[in-house]
Amino acid sequence: MSSSLAKTSRAVGLRLFYGLLSLLFVSFVTFVADEVSPGDAAMARAGEKASPEAIARIRHEMGLDRPWPERYLRFVGNAARGDFGVSYFGTRQPVSEIIQRALPMTAKIAFLAVVLASGIGIFLGTLAAVYQHHFIDKAALSLSTLGVTLPNFVLIPIFQWFFTLKLGILPLSYEAQLKAPEIYYLVLPVIVMSARPTAMLARLTRASMIDVLQQEFIKLAIAKGVPTFRVYTVHALRNALLPVLTAIGSSFGILLTGSFITETAFMVPGLGREAIQAIQKRDTPVILATVLVTGALFILVNLIVDILMPLVDPRIRDSQV
């Protein structure tokens, strides 16, 4: 037991170390990409009609006239202490406050989307496996193919046209001054974000269920007269869900980091929208902080999934001993 614990601790330590290296690499690439792009925050802040002298003065005030390696290393050093600096624009609000305000909204949408995707995806995948080669199977496969292939920037205008303009039952975008419960404004963003993970989970559940249904213990249960519904739900689905649980955890990590387009399109005040607005304004501290935070969340969620899976699946636990 102690040997297994030590092995798990070393694996977690290594994953955290490589995760930290990944974050450093991502922050470096993001900083360099922002640096080599035309223009900078000083030009955006000064405006189009500002003189070169005015832009140079603002650039000096913001510290942008210092060498970029010095500015990057200073950012990394401060970020290691939890200080991401202040925004270049508006009231020069601390970036950590922007993150603290936007992160809960992104986490809420990602959580609701993964719950919706899990419920619908597992249900569709189970139906498709039980009715393999039937019309239901083909319909589920067609829907899941659409869900995988259609990107969110295509789904968003379609859903907005249908649910808002055609049916008039859901709002076009999130409103800061809410006139209805917040969940009402989050329905469409959650549906859009859940489309791809729903399709992936449906296909994975179908494949896993088909594999389990062909195993001997299922045939034995049917031969013993166990009710069909119990065979499918208790014996087959419980075993088929083990690889699906890993995919659900990974989907949650992807949703946390992949909400940029959806949040911006629906004007949801989350991390994705903050990142897009920061990119448009060349607000480097906010860009770097959102990239680092979303990257850290992705690494952390996947690490937690990898730690929990051996507790759920004895086969994985035995293979690690």
- The predicted-structure confidence for 141-192, as pLDDT tens digits, reads as follows 898 888 888 888 899 999 999 999 999 999 998 887 888 889 999 999 999 9
Query: CA-to-CA distance for 277 and 220, rounded, in angstroms?
Result: 59
Residues 98 and 286: beta-carbon distance below 8 Å: yes
- For residue 150, give the nearest of 181, 195, 115 by alpha carbon: 195
Beta partners for 135?
A: none
Q: What is the mean pLDDT of residues 97-122?
A: 93
How many Å apart are CA 166 and CA 180, to the nearest integer? 20
Q: What is the pLDDT of residue 319?
A: 56
Q: What angle do CA 283, 286, 287 make, to 5 degrees?
A: 80
Select from 274, 287, 293 the least CA-distant residue to 37.
Answer: 287
In the chain, the amino acid numbered 253 is: G
Q: What is the DSSP letter of 258?
A: S
Residues 6+ apart with CB under 8 A from 131: 137
User: For the chain, what is the mean pLDDT?
Assistant: 86
Which string of b and e fits 201-230 if b means at least 16 CB within 10 Å? bbbbbbbbbbebbeeeebeebeeeeeeeee
More confident residue, 243 or 125: 125
Residue 59: Cβ within 10 Å count: 18
